[in-house]
Structure 1
Amino acid sequence: MTQFITDWRGLTSVGFRSICIIRVLFFSLSATAQDFAWTPGLQRAYSDAQKLKVQPARRLLANEPSATNGIRIFVEDFSDMVTLLVSDDDKAFAQAKNREDDRLNALQKLSDQSPWQRFAQAEVRLHWAFVKLKFGKEVSACWDVIRAYRLLVDNRNRFPNFLPTYKSLGTLHILIGSVPENYTWVTKLLGLQGTIRQGQQELAKAQQDPLMRTEAQLIDLLVRAYILKFTDADGRSLQRLVSNNPDNLLIHFLAATTEQKNGHSAQALAYLANRPAGGDYLPMPIIDNILGDVYLQQGEYNSAGEHLRQFLRTYKGQNFLKDAYYKLFLCYWLTNQDEQARPYLQKAATVGRVVVEADKAAQKFAEVYLSRGTSPSQKVLMRARLASDGGFTDSALAYLRPYSEVRFALPAEKAEYNYRLGRIYQRRNDPETAIPYLKRAVSLSETGQLSFGATASLQLGYIYQQKNDRDTARSYFQKALRYKNHEYKNSVDNKARAALNGL
C-alpha cells in the first residue's frame, strides 16, 4: 500500500495530463453516447415512421426514458414531417409549426462532439423546409435549406467518415448543381456549392450506412425521376426497392407517383394495388386522387369519378383540390355530359391554393374554358393526352389517327396535336418519327409562349442527347428554359438545368 501511494505521488506531469485527457475523453464520450443513443426502441420507431406507421412509432417514442436524447428528438421530428406532408392539414400545421424552434434549441444544448448533433439539426431544418413548401411558406423554407446546408458542410468537414451526412448533403448538392449558369451567382453569394455528380456520389456513399440506406436509395431514385432523366434501369431499381420493402407504404406510394409521372401508369396501378394496408398506417387520401387519374387515363370514367369523390370526402388539405375537381369535370365532359361537367370546373376555379403544378394546370384550363369555351376537337386532344401521359400509346394513337393538323383551328390546338404525336412516338421508342412532330410543336408555340414549346424542347434535348449530338441537345435545353410563366415551368426548368449541367 505504501508503495502504491509513493508511486501515485511520483506520477510525472506527463502521466497526470494523460490521465486528465483520458477522463475528459471518457466523460465526453459518455455524454455523447447519452445525448445521442440509438436505442432498440428508437431504431424501430424510425423504421416504422419511414413506413408511415406513425402511431406505432409514437407509442415507441413515448416509452423512451430520456426526453433529451437527440435521436428521440430527430425521430419525433421525422414523424411530424411525414404526418403533415401526408395529411396536408393547415390546422395541424398551425398547431405543430413552433416545434421546429423548440427542437433546434434542445439539440443545440447537446454535445457538439457527436456527429449526430449537427446532422440532427440539419435534418430538423430540412424536415420543416419540406413542410413549409407544402403549405406555401417558400421564403422561410429557403432559409431552412441554407442553414441545413451549412450545418451539413460543417459536419462533413469535422466528421468526414460519418455517412448519414452524405444523404442530405448529396441531395442538396444535386439541387444546387441543377441551377442554371445565369443564376449560379446567387448560390455563390449564399455560399452554396455543389454539382450533380458530386451529389450522386454522396448519395451512393450514404447507402453504405445501415440506418440511412433505404432512405438514401429512395432519394436517389426520386432525384432521377424529378430532376434528371428516369431510365428503364432506374425503373428496375425502383421495382427491387419495392419488392425488398413489402410493408413500406411510403415506398409503394412514391414508386407509384414516380412511375405515373414517367408515363407508366399500369405499373403505378400495380404498386398501389399491392400496397400494405391497416390501421397502423397513416390515412392517405391522395392515393384516391392518383387512382382517379390512372382510371381517367384508361378511359374508365366511372371508376375515376368514384376515387376522386372519395378523395374529396376524406382530404383535409388545400393542395390538389383544383386538380380533383378538374378531373371530375373531365369524367363528365369526355362522355359528352357538358352541363353536368361545368359545375365541377367552376369549383376548380375557386377552391384551394395554387402551389403545385397540377393545380396550376387545372386553374389555367378552368379560366380558359369558362371564359371562352372549347372547340369539339379539344376533346379528341384531351383523350389522346390522358392516354399518352399514362403510357397507353395504342389508345392515344387511335384517338389521333383520324385527324391531321389542318383539322384543328387554333394555334394552341395545332401545337398540342403535334406535341402529343411526338410524345407518343417517343414513348414507343421511335425518335426519328417523333422529331418532326416535336419540332413543329416548338415552332407553333414560340409566338404565344405555349407550354408545349417548353416541353417539346425538353424532349428534343433528350433525344439529341441520346444521339450524342451535344450541341443540338444543348440548344433545345436552353430553349426550354426560355419559355416563361407556363404551368409546368418548375419541373421543365429543373430537368433542363440538370441536363445542361450534365452536358
Structure 2
Amino acid sequence: MHRTFRLACTVLVLTLFPLTGVFAGSKYVYDFNSRCQQAYQSLVSLRIAEGNALLREELKDNPNNLIPVLLANYDDCLTLLFNGDPNEYSRRKANLDKRLDLLEQGDEQSPWYKYCIGVLHFQWAAVRIRYNEYWSAGLEFRKSFIQLKDNRKLFPSFRNNQVLLGLEEAIVGTIPDSYKWISGMLGMKGDVRKGTAQIVDFLSHRDGSAALMREEAIFFYCYLKFSFLSDHKSVWKYLDESVLDFRNNHLYAFMKANFALNDNKAQLAEQVLKGRNTGSEYLDVPVFNYQLGTALLQKMDHDCIAYFQQFLNRYKGKLFVKDAYQKMSFYYLALGDLPQAINYKNKIVKAGSEQVDADKQAQRYATNIQMPNPFLLKARLLSDGGYYEQALDELKGSRAADFPNTADQLEFNYRYARIYTLMAQPAKAIPFYEATIRAGANRQEHFAARSALEMGQIYEQQGLNEKAIACYRKCIAMKNHDYKSSLDQKAKAGIDRLGGNK
C-alpha cells in the first residue's frame, strides 16, 4: 500500500571529485559493472550505507562512470519515500539538478543517456508526491515519460526502457476519464495491460541490459498485477514459486507484507516481518512497525499497541500517523475499553496529515461524536486479518435490522458479504452486497461503493463481463464517500481490463 537517504552525487561526486577536477573535460561512460550491480542490489535491499560505500569505490577507480550517478539517486528516493522526513527532503532535493547536470554531459548516442535522465525524473516525481508537491510531481513524471518514450524510439532493443515506461504507461492508463484530456494534452497515453506486458517481456529475457536491474522490475510487476489488475492469485503464485529473498531484501519484505495485509493474510504478514534480517546495516524503516502493528491488531493481539507506538516515535513523516492512532483506538474499542479508545481517538485530530485516504477516514472518525459499533468492529478486524470463522462467530445470531444506526446496518450487510467472498462463497455474498448498495449508494460511508467494486470483481472472475463493467461504473458513480479516490482507481482499472472504454 505503501524510500530515503543522503550521499549520492553530492557526496559521491562533488565531495570526492569536484566538477572542476577529474570530471572536467572527461569522456563519460556507462559501465554497469559487477561492482555497480552489487551496489544496486544493496540499495534496493535497503542496505543503503553498503551500497553507497560500493559507489564511492567505483568512482574512485572509475571517475568517468555515470552509472554511480544514477544509482546514487536510489539512496535519496528510497530514504525519502520510506521515512518521510521533511527536513531530510529539504536537504536532499537539490541533488536532482546536480545529478542531471552530470548526466546531461554523457554520451547522447548511448541508450543509457535518456534512460538515466528519465529514471531520475520518475523517482523525484514519486518523492514530490510523497511530500505533497503534486504540480512539481506531474512535471517530473511528464519529463520522464517523454525521455523514455524517445529512448524507446531511438533504441528499441534496449530492454530497460520497458520497465519504467511500462509502469508509467500503466499509471497513465488508470487516469479517470474526466482527466483524460490533461494526459492527452501532455502527450501521454497508456494502458494498464500493455504497460504490464512490457515488464513481463523484460523479465522473460536475461540477456544484455535485461540482465540488470531486475529487482525493481519484479517489484513493479507485482504491484501492477496486484493493485491495478487485481490479479492477486497470479501474484501469490509468482511469489510462492520465486526464489526472492524476503529475509535479506527489505524492499521485497515490505512488498510481501503489504500484499498480505491488503489480502486478508495477517498471519503471513506477521511471519514475513518477524522473519526479516534486522541487522544494523539496513535502513531504519519505521513503517515495518506500522505493518506489524496492523497484522497483530487483526488478531486482537495486545502487542499491536507497542508496535504502533514505535512507529509513531521513530517516524518523521506525516502519512498514516492519524491511521495509526485510529488503529490503536480501534483495538481498545473492540476490546471494550472505551476510555482508552477515546484517549487515542483524541490524539488523531492534530497529528499527521490528511494526504492519503486512510488518514482522511481517521480524521472523520476523530471528529465524529458517534463511535463505531464494537461488535461490528471486532468482526471487521478479524475478517480483515483472514480469521474468517472467528469473524462469522461474532456476527452469528444478529440481523441488520437489529441495529438502529443506518451506518451499522450497512456495515453488517457488507461484512457478511465480504467474509463470504473471502471464503469463496460468492452466491452467499451477492445478496448482502446488493442490500448494501440499495441502502447506502447516497451515503458518505464507503460500504456501498466497495460493494459495487467487489461485486464487479466477482462477476469478472465468473466471466460475466457486462455485469462486471456495470458494477464498476456504479462504484465510480457514487460520490463523496470514504476512500473514493482509491476505489475509483480500482474500478477504472477493472473497466480498462474488460475493454469497457472501447
Question: TM-score of the superposition, structure 2-length normalised?
Answer: 0.89
Mapped partners of 1:92, 1:240: distance in 2: 38
Deviations 1:175-218 (A, max 9, x none): 12223444332221111112122112210122221112222122
Mapped partners of 1:231, 1:203: distance in 2: 17
Decide whether the 8 Å contact of 1:167 with 1:212 is kept in 2: no
Q: What amino acid is the match of 1:191?
A: G
Q: What amino acid is the match of 1:230?
A: D
Mapped partners of 2:26, 2:39: distance in 1: 21
Deviations 1:389-425 (A, max 9, x none): 1111111111111210111112211111111110000
Aligned partner of 1:404 among 392, 399, 412: 399
Mapped partners of 1:346, 1:449: distance in 2: 22
Q: CA deviation at 1:172?
A: 1.0
Mapped partners of 1:104, 1:206: distance in 2: 26
Q: What amino acid is the match of 1:311?
A: F
1:99 to 1:243, Cα distance in 2 relative to 1, 3 A: closer
Q: What amino acid is the match of 1:196?
A: V
Deviations 1:249-305 (A, max 9, x none): 1101111101211221122122112212201111111111111111111011x2111
Instruction: Give the aligned partner of residue 252 of structure 1.
Output: 253
Instruction: Give the aligned partner of residue 491 of structure 2.
Output: 496
Decide whether the 8 Å contact of 1:449 with 1:483 is kept in 2: no
Mapped partners of 1:215, 1:406: distance in 2: 50
Mapped partners of 1:337, 1:449: distance in 2: 27
Mapped partners of 1:169, 1:325: distance in 2: 38
Q: What amino acid is the match of 2:395?
A: L
Q: What amino acid is the match of 1:79?
A: D
Mapped partners of 2:262, 2:244: distance in 1: 20
Q: What amino acid is the match of 2:234?
A: A
1:67 to 1:345, Cα distance in 2 relative to 1, 3 A: farther
Q: What amino acid is the match of 1:192?
A: M
The alignment partner of 2:467 has SS state of: helix
Instruction: Give the aligned partner of residue 239 of structure 2.
Output: 238
1:48 and 2:42 are equivalent in the alignment = yes
Q: CA deviation at 1:246?
A: 4.2
Mapped partners of 2:48, 2:63: distance in 1: 18
Mapped partners of 1:384, 1:332: distance in 2: 14
Mapped partners of 2:456, 2:481: distance in 1: 19
Mapped partners of 1:233, 1:205: distance in 2: 16
Q: Number of aligned pairs? A: 467
Decide whether the 8 Å contact of 2:117 with 2:144 is kept in 1: yes
- Aligned 1:36-115 pairs, distance under 5 A: 36-63=30-57, 64-65=59-60, 66-67=62-63, 69-115=65-111
Q: CA deviation at 1:96?
A: 0.4
Instruction: Give the aligned partner of residue 297 of structure 2.
Output: 296
1:310 and 2:310 are equivalent in the alignment = yes
CA RMSD of the aligned region, Å?
A: 1.8
Q: What amino acid is the match of 2:423?
A: R
Instruction: Give the aligned partner of residue 134 of structure 2.
Output: 138
1:496 to 1:67, Cα distance in 2 relative to 1, 3 A: farther
Q: What amino acid is the match of 2:38?
A: R
Instruction: Give the aligned partner of residue 459 of structure 1.
Output: 454
Mapped partners of 2:89, 2:153: distance in 1: 34
For structure 1, which segment, 441-450 or 215-224, has the greater mean C-alpha deviation from structure 2 after superposition?
441-450
Aligned partner of 1:152 among 148, 151, 158: 148
Aligned partner of 2:411 among 409, 416, 421: 416
Instruction: Give the aligned partner of residue 19 of structure 1.
Output: none
Mapped partners of 2:169, 2:351: distance in 1: 36
1:328 and 2:328 are equivalent in the alignment = yes
Decide whether the 8 Å contact of 2:166 with 2:196 is kept in 1: yes
The alignment partner of 1:147 has SS state of: helix
Where is the helix percentage greater, Structure 1 or Structure 2? 1
Decide whether the 8 Å contact of 1:291 with 1:304 is kept in 2: yes
Q: CA deviation at 1:346?
A: 1.1
1:218 and 2:216 are equivalent in the alignment = no
The alignment partner of 1:229 has SS state of: coil
1:441 and 2:436 are equivalent in the alignment = yes
Q: CA deviation at 1:68?
A: 5.2
Instruction: Give the aligned partner of residue 12 of structure 2.
Output: none
Instruction: Give the aligned partner of residue 271 of structure 1.
Output: 272
Higher-Rg structure is 1
Query: Which runs of 5 or more residues in structure 2 are unaligned?
Result: 1-24
Mapped partners of 1:194, 1:297: distance in 2: 37
Mapped partners of 2:190, 2:27: distance in 1: 32
Q: CA deviation at 1:240?
A: 3.5
Q: CA deviation at 1:449?
A: 4.3
Q: What amino acid is the match of 1:151?
A: Q
Q: What amino acid is the match of 2:233?
A: D
Q: What amino acid is the match of 1:123?
A: V
Q: What amino acid is the match of 2:219?
A: L
Mapped partners of 2:34, 2:482: distance in 1: 47
Instruction: Give the aligned partner of residue 10 of structure 1.
Output: none
Q: What amino acid is the match of 1:260?
A: L
Mapped partners of 2:187, 2:244: distance in 1: 40
Mapped partners of 1:61, 1:373: distance in 2: 55
Q: What amino acid is the match of 1:351?
A: A
The alignment partner of 1:35 has SS state of: coil
The sequence identity of aligned pairs, in percent, is: 30
1:117 to 1:357, Cα distance in 2 relative to 1, 3 A: same
Q: What amino acid is the match of 1:467?
A: Q
The alignment partner of 2:109 has SS state of: coil
For structure 1, which segment, 177-186 or 351-360, has the greater mean C-alpha deviation from structure 2 after superposition?
177-186
Instruction: Give the aligned partner of residue 283 of structure 1.
Output: 284
Question: TM-score of the superposition, structure 1-length normalised?
Answer: 0.89
1:139 to 1:242, Cα distance in 2 relative to 1, 3 A: farther
Q: CA deviation at 1:244?
A: 4.6
Decide whether the 8 Å contact of 1:196 with 1:498 is kept in 2: yes
Instruction: Give the aligned partner of residue 346 of structure 1.
Output: 346
Q: CA deviation at 1:314?
A: 1.7
